[in-house]
Homo-oligomer: A and B are copies of this chain.
Amino acid sequence: MPVLDVNLMLAPSLPGVGLDPARLNGAMAERFREVYDDIEGRRAKGEIGFFDLPWASDTARRVQEMANSFGQCFENVVVLGIGGSGLGAATLRDALLDPGWNERDEEGRDYLPRLYVLDNPDPATVGPLLDRLDLRRTLFNVVSKSGSTAETMALYLVIRERLSALVGEDKVRGHFIFTTDPVQGALRRIADAEGIPTLPVPSNVGGRFSVLSPVGLWPAAMTGVAIDDLLAGAGAMEVRCRTHELAENPAGLLATLLHHAATEGGMPIHVLMPYGDRLCSFALWFQQLWGESLGKAVDRSGVAVHTGPTPLSAVGATDQHSQLQLFMEGPRDKVVIFLAVEDQGEPLAIPALHADTAELGYLGGHTLGELLDVERLATTEALRQAGRPSMTVELERVDAPALGALFMLFQIATVYAGALYGVDPLDQPGVELSKRITHGLLGREGFSAPSIGNADPRWRV
């Protein structure tokens, strides 16, 4: 079970800048009880579905069975999904599968399929991928809760035609599985009409909270991830957060401290910095979750607020040679959330070569795993000495239970943070305008195109 360490947000460890623990134990703990009750209330009304996903064992069984049923028929699985429909699958792949999975031969993948996520209608990506894959041995998972996401539908149409030309129209349906709303939408209707297998996205689970639904579970199951372990980890964290005592609720502490930093501490930029490449995609998943949930124009009573923290992703040790300079010396507007991994697996010994060369000699006898962790400790301490707050989520190792717990921890923190900001963390009204304009520009019935492009040529240089 991951541990959240918030000492470096607090005055005893970060004198002058950190928060007084008495305040955290006092007014902020009181406020958190209200937040907790608010969220429990919405949950009881059935508005927030992700809390219950770890316990949806029927769904998990169905996902696993459907994954098993494909056996080894396919050597490639391609997820067509954008935003929350793609990020979860990519995060699970990059964290839990052997690195370079798609470059490995069948044996190196334990005879499991490659996994691609097409999350962009970029012809420069899509064309070459379709040319390269043996489409006869490729299964496409079209993921769209609404069943009408323009980018995903466009990809579906392009691929469907290619498949049809290759395997014949009657066999096309065998290459698709749709993950969509259980009752409505275009994908649902097509699936019903053509007998394409489907998996449901529960109606009270939005895209960015869907990684533990079939949206993330099915691609994971297809590539051999133990989805029961993933859900068990998520469930354990969900249980862990069933308390209105702030000091005992890790999601509560995460939300409360980051909300306070953003709104009172002048630190609205929240950096997620895992140490280790496998969690890079998790940081991108967090960016969507935190940014899209909390970045809102109006509060829940409709008053204009234009609020929300800006999430930023980084990766250690790499970003010590990129973004760290700004984090250390720039404006005091950031909190860094480190993800630490205790057991790195095979640590890789650094040999004592060039022992007489001062710049290299001291490295011999250590391991790469040790170096990576020492760099994390050093960066944490350097930030502390510079008076810059941070917190750390410590994982024992990067495995399915830890990932499940991490997803749940950050999801719960996000809805708590929504309550603290006073906004609805479950909607995303700000993305509708560009969708409408896109529809207008493409000539969709009922949408109009604005006039664009009376740019002054003098300001085109």
Taking each of A124, A155, A350, which has the highest tally of chain B beta carbons within 10 Å of its own beta carbon? Answer: A124
Q: Can you sample 15 A-B contacts with CB below 8 Å?
A: A13-B456, A82-B320, A103-B103, A121-B317, A121-B371, A123-B367, A123-B372, A124-B398, A157-B360, A160-B353, A247-B458, A268-B333, A291-B330, A362-B443, A377-B441
Contact with B along A410-442 (1 / 0, CB 8 A): 000000000000000000111101110111011
| Contact assessment for A434 and B375 in the assembled complex, using a CB-CB cutoff below 8 Å | yes
CB closest chain-B residue, reference A398: B124
Nearest CB in chain B: distance from A131 CB, A: 9
Contact with B along A6-28 (1 / 0, CB 8 A): 11001011000000010000000
Taking each of A103, A297, A367, which has the highest tally of chain B beta carbons within 10 Å of its own beta carbon? Answer: A103
Within 8 A of B (CB), among A190-213: 190, 207-208
**For the complex, what is the distance from the CA of A148 to the CA of B363, rounded to whole Å?**
11
CB closest chain-B residue, reference A321: B83
Report which of B284, B322, B375, B441 forms a contact with A438, defined as CB distance below 8 A: B375
B-side contacts of A307, CB under 8 Å: 330-331
B-side contacts of A370, CB under 8 Å: 442
Q: Is residue A31 contacting chain B, with contact meaning CB distance below 8 A?
A: no
Question: Known interface pairs A100-B129, A461-B250. Does A345 touch B124 (Cβ–Cβ under 8 Å)?
Answer: yes
CB closest chain-B residue, reference A293: B325
Nearest CB in chain B: distance from A98 CB, A: 6
**For the complex, what is the distance from the CA of A379 to the CA of B185, rounded to whole Å?**
25
Question: Known interface pairs A348-B123, A456-B7. Does A378 touch B437 (Cβ–Cβ under 8 Å)?
Answer: yes
Q: Is residue A306 contacting chain B, with contact meaning CB distance below 8 A?
A: yes
**For the complex, what is the distance from the CA of A348 to the CA of B118, rounded to whole Å?**
15
**For the complex, what is the distance from the CA of A333 to the CA of B127, rounded to whole Å?**
37
**Stoichiometry (number of copies):** 2
B-side contacts of A369, CB under 8 Å: 123
Nearest CB in chain B: distance from A206 CB, A: 11
Q: Is residue A326 contacting chain B, with contact meaning CB distance below 8 A?
A: yes
**For the complex, what is the distance from the CA of A461 to the CA of B254, rounded to whole Å?**
10
Within 8 A of B (CB), among A314-330: 315-318, 320-330
| Contact assessment for A154 and B371 in the assembled complex, using a CB-CB cutoff below 8 Å | yes
Question: Known interface pairs A158-B351, A308-B331, A357-B186. Does A363 touch B103 (Cβ–Cβ under 8 Å)?
Answer: no
Report which of B125, B374, B398, B460 forms a contact with A4, defined as CB distance below 8 A: B460
Question: Known interface pairs A317-B82, A354-B157. Does A108 touch B123 (Cβ–Cβ under 8 Å)?
Answer: no
Nearest CB in chain B: distance from A435 CB, A: 8
Contact with B along A262-282 (1 / 0, CB 8 A): 000000110000011110000
**For the complex, what is the distance from the CA of A450 to the CA of B388, rounded to whole Å?**
17
Q: Is residue A59 contacting chain B, with contact meaning CB distance below 8 A?
A: no
B-side contacts of A433, CB under 8 Å: 328, 382, 385-386
B-side contacts of A189, CB under 8 Å: 357
Q: Is residue A150 contacting chain B, with contact meaning CB distance below 8 A?
A: yes
**For the complex, what is the distance from the CA of A186 to the CA of B363, rounded to whole Å?**
14
Question: Known interface pairs A318-B83, A362-B439, A461-B250. Does A377 touch B452 (Cβ–Cβ under 8 Å)?
Answer: yes
Contact with B along A198-234 (1 / 0, CB 8 A): 0000000001100000000000000000000000000
Within 8 A of B (CB), among A7-53: 7, 10, 12-13, 21
Nearest CB in chain B: distance from A153 CB, A: 5
**For the complex, what is the distance from the CA of A430 to the CA of B388, rounded to whole Å?**
13
| Contact assessment for A353 and B4 in the assembled complex, using a CB-CB cutoff below 8 Å | no
| Contact assessment for B381 and A452 in the assembled complex, using a CB-CB cutoff below 8 Å | yes
CB closest chain-B residue, reference A262: B331
Question: Known interface pairs A128-B98, A153-B360, A324-B431. Does A329 touch B296 (Cβ–Cβ under 8 Å)?
Answer: yes
